[in-house]
Amino acid sequence: MAKSDSIAQLFNILKQSRYPVTRLTLEDKLECSTATVERYIQDLRDTHNLNIVYDREAKGYQLEHNDDTDLELPSHLFTTQEINALLLIDQIIKNLEPGFLESDTKALKNHLDKIREKLGGSEELAANRIRMINIGKRQGNIKYLSLVTQAVLQGKQITIRYDGRSGAKSRIEKMTQDFSRTLSPQRLTHYRDNWYLDAWCHSQDALRTFALERIEDLELLKTSRKTLSHETLNQHYGQTFGIFGGKVNGIATLKFTPHRSQWVAEEVWHKDQKGQWLDDGSYQLEIPYGSDLELIGDILKYADQVEVLSPPELREKISDTINSMLAIYTA
C-alpha cells in the first residue's frame, strides 16, 4: 500500500473510533511496523495539523476534534505541493473577482494556512508574491456570478433581464419593454479578464453568449436545463477566433514584421491556427474567424507591425479603418 493511502487509512481509523486505538491494532490494520505507525501519526500531526493524543491509560491513540477550527478531511490528505497549489488558486480567484467564493472557501483556506504555518510558510507567499494585472476588465457589477455558477454546476435554468450593448435603446424603452429571457446555462467562460455565460436561449432557440456584467436581474429556477454535449459546445464556440464562436467565414492570413514575429510566433490565437517563418524573417499566421469585429481590433493593435494578406474583404476593412483614423488625426 502506498504511503499516502496508508496515512489516509490511519486518519479514517482514528476519525471513526470513539475510543483510543492501540498501537498493535493500528499495526495490524495498516500491516506495518511500530516505527512506521509512529511516523504516520507524526505526519498527520505535523503536515496535516491534526491533534492526535496518546492516552496512557488506554494505551492508544485518539483524534481530538475542535468543531470551531477543524475541517473535515476526506480520505485524501494534502501534501505540501498540494497546499501551495490550493492557496495559489485561492489567490488567483481573489485577483480575478474580489469576494467571489470568499465565504465558501474560508474554512478551507484557514486550515491550509495553519498547515503551511507549521511547515514554515508565510502568508506573504500568496498575498504579496503573486501579481496579476487586469487590463481590459470592465467595471460592471457582476453580483450574479455566484448564482450563475450555481446554475451551471447544478444544471438549472435561469431567467434574466439582460441589457445588451448591441442596438440603441432609450431609457424609456428599457423601462417599458420586456428584455427578460429564460436560459439553460451551459458553461462559464473567463475571457480577457471578463466573465461570460454560454447558454441556450429558449426565446431565440439557439446558443448565445452573455456578458455577466450586463445582467440586471436574475432568478434561479427549479427547472432542469436543456443540456448540450461538450462536443456540441466545442463545435459552436471552438471553430473560430474570439469569444462568440459560430461558423467559419474565412481564414485570415497575417504577416508580421521580423521584429514583432519574435513574440507572435509563440502566441496562441486559435487552436487551429497555422504559422510559418518566411525567408525574410517575418512570420505568417493563418486564423479561422467568424465575426471579424474582434479580430480587426486585435490586428490594429499591432499597427505597422502586421499586414493582412487575405482575404480581400478583411484587408479592405482594415484599410478603411486606418483611413478613418488618419482623417481624425489630420483634421
User: Is the distance from CB of 230 to CB of 187 less than 8 angstroms?
Assistant: no
Q: What is the rounded CA–CA span in Å between residue 110 and residue 68? A: 11
pLDDT of residue 49: 73
**What is the model's pLDDT at position 75?**
38
Local confidence pLDDT in tens for the 331 residues of the chain: 566 678 878 888 888 888 999 999 999 998 899 999 999 888 888 877 788 999 988 889 998 876 544 545 543 455 566 666 776 777 777 666 666 666 666 766 676 666 666 555 555 555 566 777 778 888 776 788 889 999 999 999 999 999 887 655 555 555 545 578 999 999 999 999 899 999 999 999 999 999 999 999 999 999 999 999 999 999 999 999 999 888 999 999 999 999 999 999 999 999 999 999 999 999 999 999 999 999 999 999 999 999 999 999 999 999 999 999 999 999 8
Can you tell me the distance from the alpha carbon of 97 to that of 195, in angstroms, rounded to the nearest whole number?
10
Indicate the helix (H) or strand (E) that contains 286. strand 283-289
Find out whether 247 and 269 touch, Cβ atoms under 8 Å.
Answer: no
| Domains (range + CATH), the chain | 3-63 (1.10.10.10), 80-127 (no CATH), 145-228 (2.30.30), 250-330 (3.30.70)
Q: What distance in Å separates the CA atoms of residue 1 and residue 10, rounded to the nearest whole number? A: 12
Task: Tell me the one-letter amino acid at 85.
Answer: A
Which candidate, 56, 49, 210, 220, places its Cα nearest to that of 146? 220
**CA distance linking residue 84 with residue 88, whole number of Å:** 6
Please tell me the predicted confidence (pLDDT) of residue 66.
61
In 66-218, where does DSSP find H-type helix?
Answer: 80-96, 102-118, 124-127, 145-154, 171-176
Specify whether the CB–CB gap between 197 and 209 falls below 8 A.
yes
Residue 146 has a pLDDT of 86
